[in-house]
């Protein structure tokens, strides 16, 4: 493992304890429906039914397709939010900026790790990515999705000051700091199941012009299954 961030790049505007910031449950979504639909479709396409999944930085929703069964473990910063998430079979609360290693999950025990709009808050991403490499099975997938939305006082400086392109490159560098991941791929759009009615086409046209920007960075442990 090698470090990719400097001390100043890891800094935040709000240095107070993260646990206080997340103490009040936020039972809302932080991105729009068009973004979420792409996340759900990406999960559908890349994570096989029956997979064991870790939802990192989860809340009261996991955005996994409702009609597909998974065994889902959740991680987050607020137990009340996580307890309302119907997809979770279990969850744990942990401040990854204070304790990024040593999760109570066995080596090579998961088929997938997903993280939606939370990677911008990791101050020690090198250690976090090394940890989910540990818990993924060979051939397991890691999917990080994000937009331009954030709690700006809690996002790290290099993310806060960046662009969509630079943030995607940053997440790629997190994968690259741990030996054993495949070359990351970046997606800026996921094709969802089309509604070919006139209204459906108009909705898609409007969504492209007005929705939150979509980015996904994806890599596999050791190899990409075929």
Q: What is the pLDDT of residue 48?
A: 97
Residue 225 lies in a domain: no
Q: Three-state DSSP class for 168?
A: helix
Residue 1 lies in a domain: no
Residue 2 lies in a domain: no
105-132 pLDDT per residue, tens: 999 999 999 999 999 999 999 999 999 9
Residue 147 lies in a domain: yes
Number of domains into which the chain is organized: 1
Residue 154 lies in a domain: yes
Query: Quick one: pLDDT band at residue 36, thresholds 50, 70, 90?
Result: very high
- pLDDT value at 167 more than 70: yes
Buried-state track 30-39, b at ≥16 Cβ within 10 A, e below 16: bbeebbbbbb
Q: What is the pLDDT of residue 201?
A: 55
Q: What is the pTM of this model?
A: 0.89
Residue 226 lies in a domain: no
Which range has the worst mean pLDDT, 91-95, 96-100, 209-213, 222-226? 209-213
Find the Cα–Cα–Cα–Cα dihedral 76, 127, 37, 192, rounded to 10°: -160
- pLDDT value at 142 more than 70: yes
Nearest to 70 by CA among 58, 117, 182: 58
Query: Quick one: pLDDT band at residue 150, thresholds 50, 70, 90?
Result: confident
Residue 84 lies in a domain: yes
CATH value at residue 174: 3.40.50.150
215 touches 168 (CB < 8 A): yes
Nearest to 204 by CA among 215, 220, 217, 193: 193
Residue 209 lies in a domain: yes
**Structural domain range at position 148:** 7-220
Instruction: Give percent of the chain above pLDDT 70.
Output: 90
């Amino acid at each position: 493992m090698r470090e990719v961030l400097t001390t100043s790049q890891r800094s935040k505007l709000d240095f107070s304890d993260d646990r206080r910031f997340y103490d009040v449950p936020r039972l809302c979504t932080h991105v729009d429906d068009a973004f979420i639909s792409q996340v759900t479709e990406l999960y559908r396409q890349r994570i096989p039914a029956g997979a064991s999944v870790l939802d990192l930085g989860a809340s009261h929703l996991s955005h996994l397709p409702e009609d597909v069964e998974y065994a889902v473990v959740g991680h987050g910063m607020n137990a009340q939010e996580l307890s309302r998430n119907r997809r979770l079979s279990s969850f744990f609360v942990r401040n990854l900026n204070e304790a990024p290693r040593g999760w109570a999950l066995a080596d090579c025990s998961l088929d997938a790790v997903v993280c939606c709009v939370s990677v911008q808050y990791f101050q020690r991403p090198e250690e976090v990515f090394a940890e989910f490499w540990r818990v993924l099975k060979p051939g397991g997938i890691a999917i990080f999705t994000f937009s331009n939305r954030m709690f700006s006082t809690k996002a790290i400086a290099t993310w806060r000051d960046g662009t969509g392109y630079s943030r995607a490159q940053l997440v790629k560098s997190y994968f690259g700091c741990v030996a054993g991941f495949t070359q990351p791929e970046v997606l800026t759009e996921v094709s969802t199941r089309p509604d070919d009615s006139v209204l459906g086409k108009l909705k898609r046209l409007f969504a492209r012009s007005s929705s939150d920007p979509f980015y996904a960075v994806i890599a596999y442990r050791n190899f990409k299954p075929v």
